[in-house]
Amino acid sequence: MTSAMAGSATVYTSGDRRVIEDDRRSIAIFRSERQLAVIMKKSLLMLSALAFPLLGQTFSDWTPPVNLGSTVNTSSNEQFVFVAKNGLTLYFASDRPGGFGGLDIYVSHRASINDAWGAPQNLGPKINTDAMEHCPFVTPDGNKLIFASDRPGSLGLNDLHIAFRQNTQDDLAWDNVRNLTELNSVGDEYGFSGFQNPDTGILTIFFNSSRPGGSGAGHSSCRSSARKTLTAFRWSVSMDWN
C-alpha cells in the first residue's frame, strides 16, 4: 500500500469502495471488485480477516488510494472514518477549528457513488462535547450511533457510547446519548464495529479494549506494546439497544 503509516479502515457492503487514513491524517478512498471486511484498526487487520473469512481474497486486489480532497480534508486531523451501508454517507472525526472540543464527529453526504462528497457537518452538541468524540459506527438501520468518548462520567480513558434518532435523514437528530456500561471497563474501549448475521439476526460486535486480562470469554486476539496490551473482544449477543 505505502511505506508510510495507514490508520483505521472501514468497509461497507453495498459498493466496492473502501476508506482508509494515511500518515497525513487525510481520509482516502480506494476500491476493489472483491468484498473484504477489514473494519478494524490496521494493527488488527489479521483479526478482521479471521473474523470475516473470505476465501481467495488478497490485499493485492486494492488499487491506489485517492485523496477525498479539500472539501473533506483540512490542515487539521481527519481520521476514524465510517461509511454507511448505502455508501453515500461518510462519518469521521476531526479536530478542525469550529468544533466543540478535541476531536468531533462530522458527517458528509454524496448523491451517488460517482459524485463527490459534500461539505462536512458537525453532528452538534448532543454528540460532541469539549472532550474527545471519535470512532463512529452507525447501525444498518441508521437509527443508532455508537462512538468512543472520554467525556466526564466515563468508566475508563475512552468509553463506548450510543445515541439514537428516529429520522434517519436528519443529521442533527441524534439524542438520548448513554454510556454502554455493559461493554465498558476501567480500561480504554474504542473502535466499535458490528456484523449482523442475516439468517439469525445475531449481532457480533468487535471493539478494542485495554482492560486487564484479555484471556476471558470473548477474547479474540491481542498484541503487546511498550505501554499496554490492546485486546480485541468479540461477543455474539442480542444487544439491548434501548
Task: Summarize pLDDT for 16-70 with one digit per residue, the tens.
Answer: 555 655 554 455 555 444 333 332 223 222 223 333 334 344 555 555 667 788 8
| 169-173-176 Cα angle (round to 5) | 140
| In-domain check, residue 2 | no
pLDDT of residue 103: 95
- Structural domain boundaries enclosing 192: 10-237
Domain total in the chain: 1
Q: What percent of the chain has pLDDT over 70?
A: 60
Q: Please tell me the distance from the alpha carbon of residue 178 to that of residue 242, in angstroms, as a whole number.
A: 10
| In-domain check, residue 111 | yes
Confidence band for 242, pLDDT divided at 50, 70 and 90: low
Please provide the DSSP assignment of 224-236 as one string. Answer: E-SS-EEEEEEEE
Q: What percent of the chain has pLDDT over 90?
A: 31
CA separation (Å) from 11 to 18, 34, 77, 100, 167? 5, 11, 21, 28, 24
Q: Report the amino acid identity of residue 156.
A: G
Tallying the residues shown for the chain, one arrives at 242
Q: Are strands 219-224 and 203-209 parallel, antiparallel or unpaired?
A: unpaired
Q: Please tell me the distance from the alpha carbon of residue 62 to that of residue 58, in angstroms, as a whole number.
A: 8
> Which three cell numbers mark 12?
461497507
| In-domain check, residue 18 | yes
CA separation (Å) from 46 to 53, 132, 201? 10, 28, 25
Q: Please tell me the distance from the alpha carbon of residue 198 to that of residue 187, in angstroms, as a whole number.
A: 32
| In-domain check, residue 137 | yes
Mean pLDDT of 69-92: 87
| In-domain check, residue 4 | no
Q: Please tell me the distance from the alpha carbon of residue 24 to that of residue 99, in angstroms, as a whole number.
A: 20
| In-domain check, residue 51 | yes
Model-level pTM? Answer: 0.76
The residue that leads in pLDDT, 66 or 137, is 137
| In-domain check, residue 3 | no
What CATH code is carried by the domain that includes residue 91? 2.120.10
3-state secondary structure of 149: strand
> Which three cell numbers mark 147?
462512538
Question: Which range, 33-37, 61-65, 196-200, 213-217, has the best average confidence (pLDDT)?
Answer: 196-200
Q: Which of 9, 5, 7, 6 is nearest to 193 (CA)?
A: 9
| In-domain check, residue 242 | no
